[in-house]
Amino acid sequence: MPKWDYRKIDYDAIDKERIAPNDFLFKVVAIASFIEITSDLYERNLVEFYAGDEAIVGWLESTWEPEEIQHGKALRRYVETVWPEFDWESAYAGFRKEYGALCTLDEFQPTRAKEMLARMVVETGTSTLYRAMHDYAESIDEPILAEIAHNIHKDEVYHYEQFDRGFEKYNREEKLGRGEITKVIYARLKMANDEDIAIAHKYIAPDEDFEAFRLETKEFAKKFYPYKMAVKMLMHPLHLHRHIENATAATAQKALQILGI
């Protein structure tokens, strides 16, 4: 069961007139709602990939999926409250059809430990995105969005921790070295950069060039993206000594910025 309930959030308290002209926010929240609510497809694939591991499969089914779906519902309601003219349902139908076809086990890593690493990269992405969304919401004095983003952020950090435990468990057998771990993280980071966002954007803002949106997100990231947190989470599976970690972190942060993450 999710640890919070989006139905208890006071959506009526949103200052709709003030927030509605914020087109960038509309796109970010709508894109996030599409991707989150499609987690059932991921869940299906993950359950198949980790078949036989009752602990992981049970957690994915009873906790991970309901939490991710709730993220989608909370964000959807936000979009439908502030931008009621947007037809969420039909735009989402287009996204789900196109993106769903790409959500296959082919996209998975070749081993269980490596896929856990890939999941950690994804949860790092979501943890940091919602931290940024929270800070942005506070900067524009929007407490309801700040509350939603904070709740989601906490869930994502928890997901990251669970996948980290899974990685450690499987890596006791697979014994991936730092070179291999880095390769998987890097490959997943490049992939995260990202077809799901591009497809969602196409259905949410069909008249707008995706590159223009990318430029907007870069500006947003410069101000709000918690790069340090991202680097720390991404490098964690390497188990570097602290002084090496600190020395590598600056380079890693540059790499993230170059990748446009």
Contacting residues toward Fe ion, per CB under 5 A = 36, 68, 71, 123, 156, 159
Cβ 32 to Fe ion shortest distance, Å = 8
Q: Which is nearer to Fe ion, 20 or 191 (CB)?
A: 191
Rounded least distance, CB 225 to Fe ion, Å: 17
Residue 20 or 229 with smaller CB distance to Fe ion: 229
CB nearer Fe ion, residue 68 or residue 164? 68
Q: Which is nearer to Fe ion, 114 or 159 (CB)?
A: 159
Per DSSP, the residues of the chain read --SS-GGGS-GGGS-HHHHTT-HHHHHHHHHHHHHHHTHHHHHHHHHHHTTT-HHHHHHIIIIIHHHHHHHHHHHHHHHHHH-TTS-HHHHHHHHHHHHHTT-SGGGS-SSHHHHHHHHHHHHHHHHHHHHHHHHHHHHTT-HHHHHHHHHHHHHHHHHHHHHHHHHHHHHHHH---HHHHHHHHHHHHHHTTTHHHHHHHHHHSTTS-HHHHHHHHHHHHHHH--HHHHHHHHHGGG---HHHHHHHHHHHHHHHHHHT-
Closest contact distance (angstroms) between CB of 61 and Fe ion is: 14
**Shortest Å, Cβ 179 to Fe ion:** 27
Q: How far is the CB of 87 from Fe ion (least distance, A)?
A: 23
* Nearer CB in complex with Fe ion: 115/123: 123
